Amino acid sequence: MSELTIREMENGEEFADWFADLTLQEERATGAPTHLEDHYLILSNAIGDWVGGLRYTTRGGVATVVDVAVRQDERGQGHGHRLLSAFEEHARDLGAHVAEFWSDDPAGEPELILHGWHRVLRREGYFGGGTWYLMEKVLTTTV
């Protein structure tokens, strides 16, 4: 038996694609939701400069926002809400039935509730030791 090692993947290695293919094969063979797929939504201005973006994953019909970021000089203009709305649409198109994300900003919750989101969980001492909230929305198909 050869010597085995475990290490963190370096930037530029193709392991992520290989591993994604492996988990997709497993999911197809067993039907278990093992494959995690990354997606990116890019918000750009009229000349093509990047303003912000949203990264999300899908697995077994659940779409999870991982990151949302908007350039500092572009904040406060509703770009985050635009990205979240686009996320819902793309997740629906991919067959997701539930969308979710973690937030540490309870001040934004009333507007999210107006758009069909609800708090599922409050977690003390989570990311960075702070209080975080798991938000969820059931995605319905639009006819």
Provide the CATH number for the domain formed by 35-138 in this structure: 3.40.630.30
Domain chopping of the chain, boundaries: 35-138
Going residue by residue through the chain, which has 143 residues, state the pLDDT in tens, using 9 for 90 and above: 689 988 888 888 889 889 889 999 999 999 999 989 899 999 999 999 999 999 999 999 999 999 999 999 999 999 999 999 999 999 999 999 999 999 999 999 999 999 999 999 999 999 999 999 999 999 986 55
On whether the CB atoms of residues 43 and 85 are closer than 8 A, the answer is no
Q: Is the separation of the CB atoms in 81 and 43 below 8 Å?
A: no
Q: Tell me which DSSP letter residue 104 carries.
A: S
User: Checking DSSP bridges between strand 132-138 and strand 37-44, what pairing results, if any?
Assistant: unpaired
The answer to whether 103 and 86 have CB atoms below 8 angstroms apart is: no
What is the H or E stretch that residue 53 is in?
strand 50-59
pLDDT, residue 2, reads 82
Residue 5's pLDDT is 85
The DSSP annotation for 68-87 comes to: EEE-GGGTTSSHHHHHHHHH
**Residue 1's pLDDT is what?**
64
